[in-house]
Amino acid sequence: MMRGWGRGGRVGRIINLLLATRYFSPCPIPHAQCPIPNYHKLLFMKQKLTQGNVGSTLVKLTIPMVWGVLAIIAFNLVDTYFVGQLGTKPLAAMSFTFPVVMTLGSLSMGLGVGASSVISRAIGEGDRQRVKKFTTNSLTLAVTAVLIFALAGFLTIDPLFTALGASADVLPLVRDYMQIWYVGMVFLVVPMVGNSAIRASGNTLTPSLIMIFAAAINIALDPLLILGIGGFPRLELQGAAIATVVSRGTTLIAALVVLHFKEKMLYLKLPTIEDTLWCWRDILYVGLPAAGSSMINPISIGVITSLLAGFGAEAVAAFGVASRIESFALIAVVALSSSIAPFVGQNWGAKKYARVAKALQLSFLFSLFWGLMAAGVLAATAPSLIAFFNPNPDIVAIASQYLWIVPISYAGAGIILIASSAFNALGKPIPSVVMTVTRMFVLYIPLAYFGGRLYGVNGIFAAACISNFIVGIGAYVWNQRTCSGRNAENNENAEIVRS
């Protein structure tokens, strides 16, 4: 027998090691004695997304995300429904909180995007220590941000919401809601960052289950705490805030348990100041632009709403109903754009650029297919769908026009979402910012202004369609050039090595 091939030889020990661990179990051999170079590092990292069929991997990542996004939409609708039962003023008070909640939600999302970007690339590189440092410090960054913004928000409730237009009789209701919301803000922000870290590892099922569980708790608590059903005190808007904080508190516990015990991505000891600062720098390099891009959307929608207000309350109501239906129509594309980030990050970190290019190609094709299908379905069913939400014939007529015009560009909107997510995953946040600013401030708002003056509400809706088309094409070209350029560079380097 050849030397080294016996049970006690080097190759034999390697085979026994692989069989014993099944590649992913804890290694039974001390690190210093392990016969496979860097084996302990590879065992820990479990690069789930760098191997296997690209298409099936994306499907497995995306399907759980669809249910997670549905859960978020569901509990927001339920919140609005039960608060609406309290009357006009409580509903108006909750509406006043939306800009602040959405802005801070954008900050949370930005931190999550930054964390997912650096963590997924570190996993692709197989760097165990960097993964744990980035994950731990993403949570410390989230806690620090919460302390700063919650304190500032708590101290400025009255002047801020007065400036936003809350009247003297509505302001106390806003205060009732936001005081609890700010106190529980840590339960809202930190789990979002934690779930982003879990998704970066290639696990989208667990974060989705966490979101579904939290939504179920929120939905169950709403009638009890808002309306006082079942012997519970009737807390009204305070009850809505408490239900949200309690349900999100469960997501904080669940995310930390999964990160530590299942994914093993956390340090139990406090990181050093030096590690903390460079981790925060790398996370914020992607996170701050991502947060800024996310904040642009609600600001722009506010401007569009003000333009529509010139055509009457029915136009504003119709826009709200159509936008709600649109959020359901785009769920699959939104879920895919969230799923593509960990895939791109891990494979880019592992220098598997061909897999990144293939994933983006499939994602863009899916966006095209889904956009055309959604446009066809909405064109055929728009009036009946809108009447389900509000039977007012004026609202049905205006919202139907929206759903006949804007969905034509859903494919472009999907490509923008996917390309932005991919750029952020690559650690290149600027293209995403440029696309968002161009779409909203350069195209959508100016076109909506002139379109509204020339063609009424249909001109405003056409502006959304045109801006999605133009920026969608630009996003596709920019993304393809980035990936093809890196592929060409990689092939050239390979040729040099072979020669």
Give the tens place of pLDDT for each residue, 287-299. 889 888 888 877 7
Which residues, at least 6 apart from 191, have a Cβ–Cβ distance to it below 8 Å?
A: 210, 248, 251, 252, 254, 255
How many residues in total does the chain contain?
Answer: 499
What is the per-residue pLDDT for 17?
A: 39
Give the tens place of pLDDT for each residue, 66-95. 998 888 888 777 887 888 788 878 877 877
Token pair listed for 231: 């012997």
Considering the entire predicted model, what is its pTM? 0.77
Share of the chain above pLDDT 70, in %: 87
Query: Which of residues 377 and 51 earns the better pLDDT score?
Result: 377
- Lowest mean pLDDT across 85-89, 180-184, 192-196, 329-333: 85-89
* Cα–Cα distance for residue pair 148/294, rounded to 1 Å: 20
**Average per-residue pLDDT in the chain?**
83
Q: With contact defined as beta carbons under 8 Å apart, do 406 and 451 qualify?
A: no
**Phi, psi for 135 (deg, rounded to 5):** -65, -50
- CB-neighbour burial class of residue 233 (10 A; exposed 0-12, middle 13-18, buried 19+): exposed
Which of the four pLDDT bands, split at 50, 70 and 90, describes residue 488?
low
* DSSP-based three-state secondary structure for 52: coil
Q: With contact defined as beta carbons under 8 Å apart, do 373 and 335 qualify?
A: no
Instruction: State yes or no: pLDDT of 169 exceeds 50.
Output: yes
- Lowest mean pLDDT across 16-30, 87-101, 342-356, 437-451: 16-30
Domain ranges of the chain: 1-37, 59-296, 310-499
* Cα–Cα distance for residue pair 82/91, rounded to 1 Å: 9
Share of the chain above pLDDT 90, in %: 42
- Lowest mean pLDDT across 17-26, 80-89, 274-283, 319-328: 17-26
In the block, residue with structure tokens 């006690």: 8
Which of the four pLDDT bands, split at 50, 70 and 90, describes residue 454?
very high
Give the count of alpha carbons within 13 A of 120, CB side only: 36
Q: With contact defined as beta carbons under 8 Å apart, do 132 and 200 qualify?
A: no
Question: ∠ CA(449), CA(455), CA(460), 5° rounding?
Answer: 45
Give the count of alpha carbons within 13 A of 439, CB side only: 30
Give the tens place of pLDDT for each residue, 191-248. 889 988 888 888 888 999 999 999 999 999 999 999 999 889 999 899 999 999 999 9
Give the tens place of pLDDT for each residue, 119-140. 988 888 888 888 899 999 999 9
